[in-house]
Amino acid sequence: MSMCSGPHLFCSIDNGTGFAFPEQLIALWAQEGIQNGREVLQSLDFSVDEKVNLLELTWALENELMMIHGATQQVALSCYRQELRFCQGQVEQMVRERDKARQDLEKAEKRNLELVKEMDDCHSTLEQLTEKKIKHMEQEYRERLNLLRSEVEMERELFWEQACRQRAVLEKDLEHLQAEEASLQEKLTLALKENSRLQKEIIEVVEKLSESEKLVLKLQNDLEFVLKEKLEPQSTELLVQEEQFKEILKEYELKCRDLQDRNDELQAAIEGLQARLPLSWHGQPHASPNGWLLPRHGQTGIICILGDSTPVSIEMEIMMEQMKEHYQDLKIQMETKVNYYEREIEMMKKDFAKKKKEMEQAFKLEVSVLEDQRTNLEALHVKSQEVIRGLQDQLQSTTHTPELERVEMEQYYTQALSGLTHWLAQEKDQLEELHRRNQHELQQFRIELDRLSEENMMLKNELERIQQQLKFTQRTNDTQRKEIEILKRDKEKACSEMEELNKQSQKCKDELFQLNQRVLQLGEKAATQQAQIKKNCITIQLLTQSLEEAGHQTELQQEEHKKQLKDTEERIEKLEMISKNMEMLLQEKVAELGQQFEKNTKSDLLLKELYLENAHLMKALQITEEKQRVAEKKNRILEEKVSALNKLISKMTSASFSVYID
């Protein structure tokens, strides 16, 4: 068993062949303080001139150690050997588990690379599809814009022709009104003369009314005075006077009522004349630029022609606003989804960074622990060398020492052995702690692998979500196409409504002709009413005021005609603005699709960065594993050196005891 299952010595000079030069062995023992290396090799039946089989040398050394006659020493050596073999087996098992974890990581990396390739292929196909769709949409929108521009130009020309026709009609009306102005001015002079006569009559009537009101007030005061002086109701004189006063009051009340009735009659007559005068003046067919009115019915007809065209533009504006709101809703939805994905990617980055820092700190701690162990082992090695030197000195002096010194030497050896046992127990505890840490690290690696697999599933789900979003954008494009077809239909309806409006304008012109005839009839009636106007005194002032108001109204109507012309021009400009807004909306839609494409590319770049960070983490893991291997090799070498030193110590003690007994 010692020949087959012994520890592997001389790993520092073994180049993989299992042989070494004697000079290397002599130099190695010289470093440890053994100067008679040649003699040792010759005593073990090895030639100094040929290469030495290291395995045979270890077996020879073990056989020399097994030649020790002390039972307790053999038991201690066997226990230490068994413990070292057990530790060695645990270390080998840890190495196997670490290699297995590395293979699992490599498989995960391969899977990640395959997923990245799939993502790249999907994104390339999506980019091609989006570019084709954008080009197709641009062509469609350009064609639609050209059609809308041509239609707007046609409508503008129609409005311009209608405005020119209305201008010609208005110019004719103005000429007719200027001809009528001269006749109306002559009538106005006659009305002013009658006005002056009626004013004089009104002044006389007002004076009579004021006198009668003064008399009424005087009688009321007298009555109150009499009532105050004579408050005795039983006297007959008082009753007689009261009756007289009552009769007088009734007479005056009757007079006041008669005057009030006359006043009311005059006011009613004046109001009737006022009502007749505006009808006669407003019913004239045309108005002069100095202040006469146009026919109202014709005016309303023109307003109907221009007013009926506004619902079409209003409906177009409503449709455009609905389209804008729809596009804004789509834009908000896309922005919210992109922000959600960006936040998730940032959270993943932060988690990667945190775990990366934790792994680095853990590996740094492990490296520091291994370095501390290495320094401790080196210190112990130095101490063991000092002990060996002391033992050599003591062996040299044993030939001259008495039995008392031999007892002291035995006590010293027992103390050294107890110290070594204590040191080996500490080393065992440290190795167990290392084993536990390595198992914990393996569990962390497995957890990390599970997390990476979950993240890969999340990335696949994100791919499916992005594909669903693309399908949703395709559906929205289809709905937009349908809405544009609806707009075309609405436009055709607007054209049909314009034709109906033209028919209505023709009807309004016919009604204008009829109204002009009625105005002529009303003019004849006005000539008969002017005879009645001469009898009324109060109405002349009102006539002048009504004439001034009528002139003001004619000016207002002319301004309204000008406003109507401006409204037609403004509507034409609104139609141009609508077409421009359509162009802007289409450009915004193209820009939104481009932004969506850029955001998709950004998400791809972020995924690639995450994979690169994963690769960097794997490289860091490999570097730390290599450092751990180096540390484990050093640990093995030191353990083997310690075991060799223990064997040498035991051999030297046995040799010293044998020399002393001899």
Eight-state DSSP code of residue 53: E
- Residue 68 three-state SS: coil
Parent domain of 507: 85-661
| Counts for the chain of helices (H) and strands (E), in that order | 9, 2
End-to-end CA distance of the chain: 31
pLDDT exceeds cutoff 70 at 83: yes
Q: What's the confidence (pLDDT) of residue 304?
A: 34
Q: What's the confidence (pLDDT) of residue 55?
A: 87
- Say if 525 falls within a structural domain: yes
- Say if 656 falls within a structural domain: yes
Average pLDDT over residues 402-426: 65
Question: Can you read off the two tokens belonging to residue 72?
Answer: 């307790």
Q: What's the confidence (pLDDT) of residue 4?
A: 38
Give the containing element (helix H, strand E) for 20.
strand 19-20
Top pLDDT among 436 and 366 is at: 436
What is the rounded CA–CA span in Å between residue 61 and residue 81?
14
Closest CA to 427 of 638, 249, 190: 638
pLDDT exceeds cutoff 70 at 661: no
- Say if 68 falls within a structural domain: no
**Residue-wise DSSP of 103-143:** HHHHHHHHHHHHHHHHHHHHHHHHHHHHHHHHHHHHHHHHH
pLDDT exceeds cutoff 50 at 310: no
What is the rounded CA–CA span in Å between residue 13 and residue 21?
9
- Say if 523 falls within a structural domain: yes
pLDDT exceeds cutoff 80 at 650: no
Q: Name which of 265-274, 430-439, 566-575, 597-606 the model is least confident about.
A: 597-606
Q: Name which of 149-163, 292-306, 420-434 the model is least confident about.
A: 292-306
pLDDT tens readout for residues 7-45: 567 777 878 788 888 888 888 888 888 888 888 888 888
φ, ψ for residue 53, nearest 5 deg: -75, 115
- Say if 17 falls within a structural domain: no
Average pLDDT over residues 202-218: 72
Which amino acid type is present at position 133?
A: K
- Say if 598 falls within a structural domain: yes
pLDDT tens readout for residues 230-276: 554 445 655 666 676 667 667 766 766 776 677 677 667 666 665 66
What is the rounded CA–CA span in Å between residue 295 and residue 640?
126
Task: Bin 287: left if φ > 0, else alpha if -120 < ψ < 50, else beta.
Answer: beta
- Say if 80 falls within a structural domain: no
pLDDT exceeds cutoff 80 at 49: yes
pLDDT exceeds cutoff 50 at 480: yes
What is the rounded CA–CA span in Å between residue 419 and residue 343?
61
Q: What's the confidence (pLDDT) of residue 283?
A: 41
Burial class of residue 35, CB neighbours in 10 A (0-12, 13-18, 19+):
exposed
Average pLDDT over residues 107-134: 84
Average pLDDT over residues 415-439: 70
- Say if 56 falls within a structural domain: no
Give the containing element (helix H, strand E) for 487.
helix 403-533
**Residue-wise DSSP of 584-632:** HHHHHHHHHHHHHHHHHHHHHHHHHHHHHHHHHHHHHHHHHHHHHHHHH
Question: Can you read off the two tokens belonging to residue 434?
Answer: 């290392």
pLDDT tens readout for residues 282-293: 444 343 333 333
Please state the domain count of the chain.
1
Give residue for tokens 């201690």. 76
What is the rounded CA–CA span in Å between residue 369 and residue 628?
11
114, 460 in Cβ contact below 8 A?
no
pLDDT exceeds cutoff 60 at 656: no
pLDDT exceeds cutoff 70 at 104: yes
Q: What is the mean pLDDT of the chain?
A: 69
Query: 394 CB contacts (<8 Å, ≥6 apart)?
Result: 409, 412
- The whole-model pTM stands at 0.24
